[in-house]
């Protein structure tokens, strides 16, 4: 079962068009909810005016004053209100002020436009530098949402002694997840057995995040809140933290109206107001010995965290830990800050801070190689982490890590040496097309950073059903990554059953325990491992209670389960996360095992640049990764290919254009993700290396492919075009033209 | 969907005559609708003023491609897909085939029409540069009669056209090039497919005795409407292929453009890249 | 101004009569009036292709089609592709190759691919890319979709 390409569990419903996504769920009598937003980046809300010509009496209206519990979205830091009240401060352009609902969705839209907000505008902070300069102060005492320092050794004495010190500054832009299904929520709030019951169905990654947010919003105990994850049309982190906001909004309208409410964002709204990847600025300083040995590294890593902390502290944490990347370095200092700006809060997006800091480091290594007169391959080879080495956090590499082998495999697969030699001959010729090949080497920490897993203490289980089949009980959600299938394979493997006898229970907080959020490349490795334990416990329970005798066949097993369920009424077995022995982490000093393990990779890209238009075509792409044991090769390859596509998009085209703190290209026509003709075939190569942590030796793979493409593509651009200021993504044609002109115009 | 449905009505005339009568009776009331690929976007976004649509899609009089010895005549409702698939278009107007392929993707090409692409008057439309390059003429009909307008005289500014409130664009006539022709079309979009143009250059040249005997260049996305590059044309007309004044033509092209910064590209990018496209076109022309 | 107009159309082989606002969209008629929710709305501007259906045999973005223009038309949606429980060869190939990940682009993608194979029974990679360029997918990077279309084309084209 593990290692087989079992077909996707919910695949049949998806190809038939019968899978029920949130907006597909029929709810008779439902109202259509809409959100009125501030549109100015900062100010004081003075009044809400309701325009003429709208039958306002027919509308359900919710303002901050209506909120029954706490007007703060439960998150890492509870600083974001669900709604801004009169007299309160608006801190970004998409701040929700008023919720309205009506049975006629067209009239609701007309009403939304008839509302006028009276806002006393205040000066706003719209970029990283203004925030650092406290121009003006908008958050806390210093505009910092979070600050982290990681130290190893002492770089200071090294700068003066080293043969070479090289500095660089790198920037990355915001990126939209662009799941094809926009954010969507349904809610019903009604009395049940004499107490208020809040139910939300939605497109959401983390049912228990939304559950926690609703408890706090309504001031209700756990049992009176229910969250159900519907089929999800993609997420990529974009439905990790935001659903706590729109889930709360839907529930407020349902509560106030005492009717079912649909809160379905259209694309324009989704793009304008939901979370994005954090923009970043990274300054790196590295010291090298004459032979290219890395002696010291200093990183100043800054994320634009937007108006509220939301997930920025943990995004920053992952970005900071990944800042030193895959290199051995005795002296490291990492200073990481998430700064507040008056922009809609960014949030989770595949990679979660790591793509930003890894882009900087992998561009920097190529630039260092050039400045040192060394080959980029050999400079990396000399400095790679190996077994026994210590990372910046003091974590010791305990696995037999062979990054050089990984790199060589990727370079061979793309024909790196031959292409470099060929392009060196062809590029100087006349003609607008210049070609290049480049690569990046990187890692991605599996699971939460530091003590995250211990804090969540995830629970997952298996349940016997009346027909003798087995259901997986976990709050982990299916967003297209293949969780339903992989979990079934893991449980089937543990029970020695065909995968057809295992399926997933609906992800409904009334039914499944909190297996933690579906994020951080943790589901297969962390929840899968718990499920493996639960499955073994389940089998032992069947044996101990004499329902099952070993050895068994699938038929005798199924009969045993059916009999047990008939006899006992129900049969469930749960497992819980236990910190593996030997792992240690200090949240204050940022020292210890930042992650239980890492996935490792080398990605190589070939590009063709048309100097007439500065358009870049990625002509070939190789993704080599070591991700432990691959549970389902077809699904895993699909994850890698999709992540690479997103990474190439971030590197070349995907730009969030802001004006006065507002995204102005908030249409699919104007935010450019790759189509089928914009991407090459991606060669995906897995190097398996069974690791003890995950089920059957699996590691996480979901985010890894987001980290490597942008630096690989930009490194290839430098190979094609020579020395340009290629320090930023996306390297759009406009930006590339500018950089080319810097050289030609001096 | 942000359009307010009660604000919109639709009439479906059964004949061209009925359509013209309706427009004459209530001039300025109707918004002609063909494939809807532009109008529906604005409607969905809630940015369309209340109106009554005049659905022309069932008017057989506006369909079909007719060919005679000297020209092709496209009914207003000719779709991009029909352009792509028509043998005579491939034979005489390869730029139009490329324009049609470059417009949206297949679902748009199946619905979008040539007349709609013209009358929507977007500066970024993909067929107008080719129509300009081929010297197209438009046939405009109203109850007052029929008139023909050279396409390069039709656009008067941003979304402003030589089209009266009671007139419909019924046919597009394109003369077949004679002699040894050179065709060039390139659109630079925001990506390789399903993209809006950042700049577009289409050209047709007739070569006689090694010289540029006739030349028209159409530009998209670099002015308030699709435009002829008359200055660049003038710099090149009559010149021998062996020594085309490339630098002078590129310089002259600056006077043909008035690009702006927008979400898709900067004015600078448009200006530089359009000149580069001209350069590429001239390289190809010189190598004939 | 008419409050509602009556339309008749054939969807997946069945005749339907609906009464809708004059300028309703075909997409809403399918999803709301006929409750065929397999057709998705991803952008409302003809960009993503999630609402793709066949209208009189041609792929269209149903979010850009005024329902009035579908009067008397024959429409095929994703719900009309299978023969009862039997998946079409494209549906089967999408399942086998993991061509559907989150599945939200899948209905539109299947219809564009069905149309492609009808027009071009043995498509190359480039022809498939061109045929599917109006259907955005954010999960797959398109590779598994290309594989699925090749497999389905080979199945469909096999001698019978």
B107 → closest Cβ in C22, C59, C69: C59
Sign of CA dihedral B159, B164, B169, B173: negative
Domain range list for chain A: 22-122+178-273, 363-448+596-744, 458-576
Domain A22-122+178-273 in CATH 3.40.50.800: no
Q: What is the pLDDT of residue A402?
A: 95
- Domain span at residue C106? 89-157
Mean pLDDT, rounded, for B268-286: 98
B107 → closest Cβ in C24, C52, C68: C52
Cβ separation of B106 and C133 shorter than 8 Å? yes
Reported as a pLDDT band with limits 50, 70 and 90, residue C159 is very low
Mean pLDDT, rounded, for B259-278: 97
Domains A22-122+178-273 and A458-576 share a fold: yes
The C-alpha of B24 sits at a distance from chain A's nearest C-alpha, in angstroms, of 32
Q: What is the pLDDT of residue A745?
A: 77
pLDDT surpassing 90 at residue B97: yes
pLDDT surpassing 90 at residue C18: yes
The rounded distance, in Å, linking the Cα atoms of A622 and A713 is 11
CATH number at residue C150: 1.10.150.120
| Region of residue B159 (phi > 0: left; psi between -120 and 50: alpha; otherwise: beta) | left
pLDDT digits (tens, 9 = 90+) for C41-80: 999 999 999 999 999 999 999 999 999 999 999 999 999 9
CATH number at residue B168: 3.30.465.10
The rounded distance, in Å, linking the Cα atoms of A416 and A434 is 16
Q: What is the pLDDT of residue A694?
A: 67
Q: What is the pLDDT of residue B203?
A: 98
Helix (H, G, I), strand (E, B), or coil: what is residue A700?
Answer: coil
Q: Which residue of C has its CA nearest to A632?
A: C98
pLDDT surpassing 80 at residue C157: no
Do B247 and B199 sit in the same domain of this protein? yes
Count: domains in chain C: 2
Count: domains in chain B: 3
The C-alpha of B37 sits at a distance from chain C's nearest C-alpha, in angstroms, of 6
Token pair listed for A514: 């909190």
Task: Please check whether residue C153 lies inside any domain of the structure.
Answer: yes
pLDDT surpassing 50 at residue B111: yes
Reported as a pLDDT band with limits 50, 70 and 90, residue C160 is very low
Q: What is the pLDDT of residue A695?
A: 74
Selected residue of A5, A20, A177, A480 to mutate for chain C interface (largest C Cβ count, 10 A): A480
pLDDT digits (tens, 9 = 90+) for B174-203: 999 987 799 999 999 999 999 999 999 999
Do C11 and C73 sit in the same domain of this protein? yes
Q: Calculate the alpha carbon distances from A704 to A646, B60, B196 in Å.
A: 11, 56, 32
Relative orientation angle of helices B267-286 and B246-254, to the nearest 10 degrees: 150
Question: Which residues of B fall within a CB distance of 8 Å from A615?
Answer: 188
CATH number at residue B252: 3.30.390.50
The C-alpha of A678 sits at a distance from chain B's nearest C-alpha, in angstroms, of 6
Nearby residues of A236 by Cβ (< 8 Å), 6 or more positions away = A177, A178, A179, A349, A350, A479, A646, C138
C45 → closest Cβ in B3, B41, B111: B41
Q: What is the pLDDT of residue A692?
A: 54
Q: What is the pLDDT of residue A717?
A: 98
| Region of residue B104 (phi > 0: left; psi between -120 and 50: alpha; otherwise: beta) | left
Do B49 and B116 sit in the same domain of this protein? no
* CB-CB contact of A320 with A336 (8 Å): yes
Selected residue of C66, C73, C117 to mutate for chain B interface (largest B Cβ count, 10 A): C66
Residues 46-75, chain C: which have Cβ within 8 Å of A? 47-48, 50
Helical (H) or strand (E) element with A640: helix A633-652
CA A299 from chain centre, in angstroms, equals: 23
Residues 610-639, chain A: which have Cβ within 8 Å of C? 634-635, 637-638
Cβ separation of A267 and C45 shorter than 8 Å? yes
* CB-CB contact of A115 with A49 (8 Å): yes
The C-alpha of B28 sits at a distance from chain A's nearest C-alpha, in angstroms, of 25
The rounded distance, in Å, linking the Cα atoms of A495 and A499 is 10
Question: Which residues of B fall within a CB distance of 8 Å from A110?
Answer: 4
Do C51 and C17 sit in the same domain of this protein? yes
Q: Does B20 touch chain A (CB under 8 A)?
A: no
Mean pLDDT, rounded, for C143-148: 98
C112 → closest Cβ in B5, B55, B106: B106
* CB-CB contact of A573 with A461 (8 Å): yes
Do C72 and C93 sit in the same domain of this protein? no
The rounded distance, in Å, linking the Cα atoms of C159 and C87 is 19
Question: Which residues of A fall within a CB distance of 8 Å from C43?
Answer: 267, 667-668
Cβ separation of B40 and C47 shorter than 8 Å? no
Reported in sequence order, the residue ranges of C37-160 that DSSP labels E, i.e. its strands, are 52-55, 58-61, 74-76
In CATH terms, A363-448+596-744 corresponds, of 1.20.1250.20, 3.30.200.20, 3.30.420.10, 3.30.365.10, to 3.30.365.10
- Domain span at residue B12? 5-55
The rounded distance, in Å, linking the Cα atoms of B147 and C5 is 36
Q: Does B83 touch chain A (CB under 8 A)?
A: no
Supply the Cα-derived Rg of chain A in whole angstroms: 26
Cβ separation of C103 and A10 shorter than 8 Å? yes
Task: Please check whether residue C55 lies inside any domain of the structure.
Answer: yes
Closest CA to A675 of A235, A267, A178: A178
Q: Does B277 touch chain A (CB under 8 A)?
A: yes
B45 → closest Cβ in C28, C45, C59: C45
Interface of chain C against chain B, CB under 8 Å? 1-2, 21-25, 28, 44-47, 49, 52, 58-61, 63-66, 68-69, 71, 112, 115, 129-131, 133-136
The C-alpha of B65 sits at a distance from chain C's nearest C-alpha, in angstroms, of 19
Question: Which residues of C fall within a CB distance of 8 Å from B45?
Answer: 44-45
Token pair listed for B170: 């019924």
* CB-CB contact of A676 with C48 (8 Å): no
Q: What is the CB neighbour count within 10 angstroms for residue C57?
A: 12
The C-alpha of C158 sits at a distance from chain A's nearest C-alpha, in angstroms, of 22
Nearby residues of C160 by Cβ (< 8 Å), 6 or more positions away = none
Quote the percentage of chain C above a pLDDT of 70.
96
Supply the Cα-derived Rg of chain C in whole angstroms: 16
Which of B142, B157, B175 is a domain's end point? B175
Selected residue of A648, A674, A734 to mutate for chain B interface (largest B Cβ count, 10 A): A734
The C-alpha of C72 sits at a distance from chain A's nearest C-alpha, in angstroms, of 24
Per the listing, tokens 């056209």 go with: B161
Residues (pLDDT < 70) of chain A are 690-694, 746
Sign of CA dihedral B51, B57, B61, B63: positive
Helix (H, G, I), strand (E, B), or coil: what is residue A122?
Answer: coil
* CB-CB contact of A448 with A353 (8 Å): no
CA B135 from chain centre, in angstroms, equals: 11
A734 → closest Cβ in B1, B46, B265: B265
Overall size of chain A counted in residues: 746
The rounded distance, in Å, linking the Cα atoms of C42 and B221 is 27
Do B50 and B132 sit in the same domain of this protein? no
Q: What is the pLDDT of residue B179?
A: 77
Cβ separation of C23 and B10 shorter than 8 Å? yes
Task: Please check whether residue C84 lies inside any domain of the structure.
Answer: no
Task: Please check whether residue C103 lies inside any domain of the structure.
Answer: yes
Partner chains of B (3+ C-beta pairs under 8 Å): A, C
The rounded distance, in Å, linking the Cα atoms of A347 and A344 is 9
Closest CA to B40 of B135, B136, B107: B107
Do B134 and B200 sit in the same domain of this protein? no
Question: Which residues of A fall within a CB distance of 8 Å from B268?
Answer: 734, 737
* CB-CB contact of C133 with B105 (8 Å): yes
Do C137 and C71 sit in the same domain of this protein? no
Omega before residue C110 within 30° of 0, cis: no
The rounded distance, in Å, linking the Cα atoms of A32 and A460 is 35
The rounded distance, in Å, linking the Cα atoms of B188 and B275 is 12
* CB-CB contact of A292 with A63 (8 Å): no
Do C93 and C75 sit in the same domain of this protein? no
In CATH terms, A458-576 corresponds, of 3.30.470.20, 3.40.50.1370, 1.10.1740.10, 3.30.365.10, to 3.30.365.10
Q: CB burial class (10 A; 0-12, 13-18, 19+) of residue A302?
A: buried
pLDDT digits (tens, 9 = 90+) for B159-169: 999 999 999 99
Q: What is the pLDDT of residue A691?
A: 58
Closest CA to A63 of A117, A110, A124: A117
Question: Which residues of A fall within a CB distance of 8 Å from B277?
Answer: 612-613
Q: Which residue of A has its CA nearest to C80?
A: A16
ipTM reported for the complex surpasses 0.95 = yes
The rounded distance, in Å, linking the Cα atoms of C103 and C105 is 6
Which residues in B222-261 are b (16+ Cβ under 10 Å) and which e? bbebbbbbebbbebbeebebeebebeebbebbeebbebee
Question: Which residues of A fall within a CB distance of 8 Å from B104?
Answer: none
Partner chains of C (3+ C-beta pairs under 8 Å): A, B
Give B71's strand partners: B175
Long-range CB contacts for residues A134-138, cutoff 8 Å, separation at least 24: A138/A42, A138/A91, A138/A307, A138/A340, A138/A341, A138/A342
Question: Which residues of B fall within a CB distance of 8 Å from A657?
Answer: 263
Question: Which residues of B fall within a CB distance of 8 Å from A53?
Answer: none
Q: What is the CB neighbour count within 10 angstroms for residue A645?
A: 28
Supply the Cα-derived Rg of chain B in whole angstroms: 19
Cβ separation of A109 and B4 shorter than 8 Å? yes
């Amino acid at each position: 079962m593990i290692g087989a390409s079992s077909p996707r569990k919910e695949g049949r419903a998806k190809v038939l068009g019968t899978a029920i996504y949130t907006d597909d769920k029929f709810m008779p009598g439902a109202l259509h909810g809409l959100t009125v937003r501030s549109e100015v980046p900062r100010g004081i809300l003075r009044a809400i005016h309701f325009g003429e010509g709208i039958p306002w009496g027919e509308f359900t209206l919710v303002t901050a004053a209506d909120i029954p519990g706490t007007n703060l979205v439960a998150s890492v830091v509870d600083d974001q209100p669900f709604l801004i009240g009169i007299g309160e401060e608006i801190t970004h352009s998409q701040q929700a002020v008023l919720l309205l609902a009506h049975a006629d969705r067209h009239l609701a839209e007309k009403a939304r436009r008839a509302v006028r907000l009276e806002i006393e505008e205040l000066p706003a902070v719209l970029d990283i530098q203004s925030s650092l300069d406290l121009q003006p102060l908008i958050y806390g005492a210093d505009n910092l949402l979070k600050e982290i320092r990681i130290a190893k050794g002492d770089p200071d004495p090294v700068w003066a002694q080293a043969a070479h010190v090289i500095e660089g500054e790198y920037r990355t832009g915001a990126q939209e997840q662009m799941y094809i299904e926009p954010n969507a929520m349904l809610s019903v709030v009604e009395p049940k057995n004499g107490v208020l019951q809040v139910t939300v169905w939605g497109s959401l990654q983390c049912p228990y995040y939304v559950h926690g947010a609703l408890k706090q919003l309504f001031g209700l105990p756990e049992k009176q809140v229910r969250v159900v994850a519907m089929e999800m049309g993609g997420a990529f982190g974009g439905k990790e933290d935001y659903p706590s906001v729109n889930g709360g909004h839907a529930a407020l309208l349902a509560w106030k109206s005492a009717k079912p409410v649909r809160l379905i964002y259209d694309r324009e709204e989704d793009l304008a107001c939901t979370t994005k990847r954090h923009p970043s600025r990274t300054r790196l300083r590295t010291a090298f010995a004459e032979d290219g040995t890395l002696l010291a590294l200093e990183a100043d890593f800054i994320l634009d965290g937007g108006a509220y902390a939301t997930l920025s502290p943990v995004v920053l944490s992952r970005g900071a830990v990944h800042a030193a990347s895959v290199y051995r370095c005795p002296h490291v200092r990492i200073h990481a800050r998430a700064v507040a700006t008056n922009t809609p809060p960014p949030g989770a997006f595949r990679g979660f801070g790591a793509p930003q800091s890894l882009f900087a480091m992998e561009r920097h290594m190529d630039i260092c190689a050039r400045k040192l007169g060394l080959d980029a391959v050999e400079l990396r080879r000399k400095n790679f982490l190996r077994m026994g080495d210590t990372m910046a956090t003091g974590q010791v590499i305990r696995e037999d890590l062979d990054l050089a082998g990984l790199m060589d495999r990727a370079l061979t697969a793309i024909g790196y040496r031959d292409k470099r030699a060929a392009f060196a001959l062809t590029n100087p010729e006349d003609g607008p097309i210049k070609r290049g090949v480049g690569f990046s080497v990187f890692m991605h920490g599996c699971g939460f950073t530091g003590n995250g897993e211990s804090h969540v203490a995830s629970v997952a289980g298996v349940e016997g059903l009346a027909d003798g089949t087995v259901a997986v009980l976990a709050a982990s959600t299916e967003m297209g990554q293949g969780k339903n299938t992989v979990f079934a394979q893991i449980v089937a493997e543990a029970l020695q059953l065909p995968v057809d006898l295992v399926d997933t229970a609906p992800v409904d907080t009334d039914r499944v325990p909190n297996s933690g959020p579906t994020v951080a490349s943790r589901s297969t490795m962390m929840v899968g491992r718990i499920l493996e334990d639960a499955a073994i416990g389940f089998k032992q329970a069947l044996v101990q209670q004499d329902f099952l005798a070993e050895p068994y066949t699938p038929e005798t097993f199924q009969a045993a389960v059916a009999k047990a369920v008939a006899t006992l009424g129900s049969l469930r077995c749960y497992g819980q996360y236990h910190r593996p022995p030997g792992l240690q982490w200090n949240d204050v000093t940022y020292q210890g095992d930042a992650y239980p393990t890492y996935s490792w990779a080398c990605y190589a890209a070939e590009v063709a640049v048309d100097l007439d238009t500065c358009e870049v075509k990625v002509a070939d792409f190789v993704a080599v990764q070591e991700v432990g044991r691959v549970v389902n090769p077809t699904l895993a390859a699909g994850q890698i290919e999709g992540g690479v596509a997103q990474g190439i998009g971030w590197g070349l085209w995907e730009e969030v254009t802001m004006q006065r703190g507002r995204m102005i290209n908030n249409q699919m026509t104007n935010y450019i993700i790759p189509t089928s003709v914009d991407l090459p075939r991606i060669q995906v190569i897995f190097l398996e290396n069974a690791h003890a942590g995950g089920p059957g030796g699996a590691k996480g793979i979901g985010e890894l492919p987001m980290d490597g493409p942008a630096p690989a593509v930009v490194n290839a651009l430098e190979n094609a075009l020579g020395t340009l200021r290629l320090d930023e993504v996306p390297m759009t044609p406009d930006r590339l033209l500018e950089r080319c002109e810097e050289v030609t115009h001096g | 969907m942000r359009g307010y449905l009660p604000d919109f009505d639709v009439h479906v005339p059964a004949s061209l005559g009925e359509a013209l009568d309706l427009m004459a009776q209530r001039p300025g009331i109707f918004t002609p609708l063909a494939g809807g690929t532009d109008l529906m976007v604005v409607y969905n976004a809630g940015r369309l003023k209340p109106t009554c649509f005049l659905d022309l899609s069932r008017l057989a009089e506006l369909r079909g491609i007719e060919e005679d010895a000297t020209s092709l005549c496209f009914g207003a409702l000719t779709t991009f897909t029909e352009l792509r698939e028509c043998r005579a278009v491939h034979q005489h107007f390869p730029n139009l085939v490329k324009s049609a392929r470059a417009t949206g993707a297949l679902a748009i090409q199946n619905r979008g029409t040539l007349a709609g692409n013209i009358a929507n008057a977007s500066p970024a439309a993909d067929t107008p540069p080719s129509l300009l390059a081929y010297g197209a003429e438009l046939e405009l009909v109203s109850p007052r009669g029929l008139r023909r307008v050279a396409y390069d005289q039709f656009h008067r500014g941003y979304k402003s056209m030589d089209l009266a409130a009671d007139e419909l664009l019924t046919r597009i006539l394109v003369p077949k090039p004679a002699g040894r022709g050179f065709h060039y079309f390139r659109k630079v979009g925001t990506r390789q497919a399903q993209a809006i143009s950042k700049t577009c250059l289409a050209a047709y040249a007739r070569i006689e005795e090694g010289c540029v005997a006739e030349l028209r260049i159409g530009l998209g996305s670099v002015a308030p409407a699709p435009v002829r590059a008359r200055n660049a044309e003038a710099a090149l007309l009559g010149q021998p292929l062996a020594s085309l004044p490339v630098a002078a033509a590129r310089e002259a092209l600056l006077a043909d453009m008035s690009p702006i910064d927008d979400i898709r590209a900067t004015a600078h990018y448009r200006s530089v890249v359009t000149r580069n496209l001209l350069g590429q076109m001239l390289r190809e022309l010189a190598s004939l | 101004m008419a409050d509602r107009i009556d339309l008749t159309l054939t969807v997946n082989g069945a005749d339907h009569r609906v009464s809708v606002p004059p300028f309703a969209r075909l997409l809403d008629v399918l999803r709301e009036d006929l409750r065929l929710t397999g057709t998705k709305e991803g952008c409302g501007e003809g960009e993503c292709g999630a609402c793709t259906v066949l209208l009189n045999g041609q792929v269209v973005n149903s979010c850009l089609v005024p329902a009035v223009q579908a009067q008397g038309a024959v429409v095929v949606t994703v719900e009309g592709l299978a023969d009862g429980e039997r998946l079409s060869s494209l549906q089967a190939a999408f399942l086998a190759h993991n061509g559907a990940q989150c599945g939200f682009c899948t209905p539109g993608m299947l219809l564009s691919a069905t149309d492609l194979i009808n027009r071009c029974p043995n498509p190359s990679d480039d022809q498939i890319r061109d045929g599917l360029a109006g259907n955005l997918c954010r999960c797959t990077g398109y590779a598994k979709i290309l594989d699925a279309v090749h497999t389905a084309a080979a199945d469909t084209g096999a001698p019978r």
